[in-house]
Chain A
Amino acid sequence: MFFYLILTMFLNLDIKKREKVAVIDDSGESITYGEICDFSKLFSKYVPKRSLIFILSENKIGSLLGYTSALSNRVVPLIISARTEESLYVNLRDLYQPEFLWVPNHLTKQLGYELVFSAWNYTLVKTNYPSTPMFDELSLLLPTSGSTGSPKLVRHSYRNIEANADNVRRLFNLNEDEKAMAILPMHYTMGLSVIASHLLAGATILLSNRSLLDKGFWSMLKEATSFTGVPYSYEVLLKMRFTRMDLPKLRIITQGGGKLTTEMWQALATYAQERGKKFIATYGQSECTARMAYLPSELAMSKICSIGIAEPGGQLSIVDSDGNESFEGEATGEMIYRGENVTLGYATSREDLLKGDENHGVMHTGDLVHRDADGCYFVIGRLKRFLKIFGLRIGLDEVETLIKSEFKTDCYCKGNDEKLVILVTDSSLVPLIPVFVEEKTHLFHQNIEVQVVEAILRNEAGKVINQ
């Protein structure tokens, strides 16, 4: 096994059946595993090993080929949405200085760089930045929050990605007969996890860039054996009354990216039980290459809203308020995860790309959890300052920075996973801020509430006290 990992391509892509269809996208076009390997060879002619490349991603074949080719050729991509707001993109570009960009054809003009080659509606462009020295095991960079354009990136090793893909493959018992509906964006850690785990399994990915309220999505879903979504995806599915639809091929519905409401959970668990399907809730963070825990489907009706147990290959524990760590029995405290998918650490500058492994396989999740007597974990709170709305991680400090620099004003962000609340002192900003934050982050403005306060009060430590 160990030998294979060394001798074969990324995700063992070259030992899959060459003629087997790997990906089908919205255009109806498809590519086989053989074509993925061939494309990777072509890509290597243009992009030297250990180059830094930005992939401006969409859920389309061209974008996915950029990912598989970069990883197969030891080229390091930062994957961001092709819809990233321009000033946020410029910020990242100036900071990290990629030698190449892999972008949708329609964006090449405005980027204004030398065109190298095009395929599958994507184009490789070359910048004039010099090469970037990088840690040898660095494989992939992803933004910590999908939306605020924070320069803070998560650094992944090659082993992180393969370990996550294998853990997820084992968790869902994936084989090459699967057809996975992949709607979560590629620049989002769980979206990539769906892709990598199914490629490792030699399965077929139904890659969609469509809105869940597009007819094309629904006809594609009819062919899928599994669907992976965030709570918001299930809100749409339930609104569309998918539980009453005839989807005979669908075997697994799985969820990550935040907490479902009890009502939604029960609706999905009941649906799965009545229709002979599996409902599997999962938990993860981008700092751990997506997945970390899952609730076995047979517990869906009894352990409501639990994140379950550690995934195969991982280990969970709790450190309580006295600093004692425990691995079993009832306990409450911060959840700790150990596994080969724990990433190397963060980068906030180009120099950081040289850094090695800072986490050593241990992640303090920042989530406050309770473990019941049966060993199932429940998230009860959060120690870190971020919200998860529509599965998007909204870093509160980052939103504050954006507002402060745009409006030259003090502000404070708080909220829950339904609403971002922004406190300001200047009432004239009330109508301006939601539009601005929506433009920057793509967070829907109706999930943003601006409140006017007399003053933003801080204690001696600088901590805001008018919560």
Chain B
Amino acid sequence: MPPTVKVMRRPEGARTSYLRATLKGMALTFKHLVNPNKVTLQYPEEQPVLSPRWRGTHRMEVHADGRPKCVACGLCPTVCPSNCIRLVGGEDDQGNRFPIVYEIDEFRCIFCGMCQEVCPVEAIHVGVHFENAEYTRDRFVYDLDRLMEQEHPTALLWDPSDPRSE
């Protein structure tokens, strides 16, 4: 079938009014010019309101004595779809497992939040946080100490019984 061209008829000459349309437009732009309600967020001074379910860079929860809550079960590196978590687990004298190495490559991470979802002891969390700028690339691999230092709030998980967080 040959391509067909749809011809759009413009309004007839007598029905168009450039002048009136322009004056209307000028009035509209003037209204916006003097309108004090701007949509711009003055960012460093004003912070955006993030959703409680916002999934940002991770943080590791710690016990009162400063140890990480992680028990090195290995579920998070297993579930991680982008394979960005490196975990080497160890065991102390009482048989408690703990992470020797726990690194998250935030460049590889897709912030799906499945690590938080899968964690049996609620140790690893994604955070409500977005200011992650660094001067070098290697600073984006967060090690265990760095993860434990983070102080931003942690993300709420989606609750199937309350799907709209009401």
Answer whether A and B are interacting partners: no
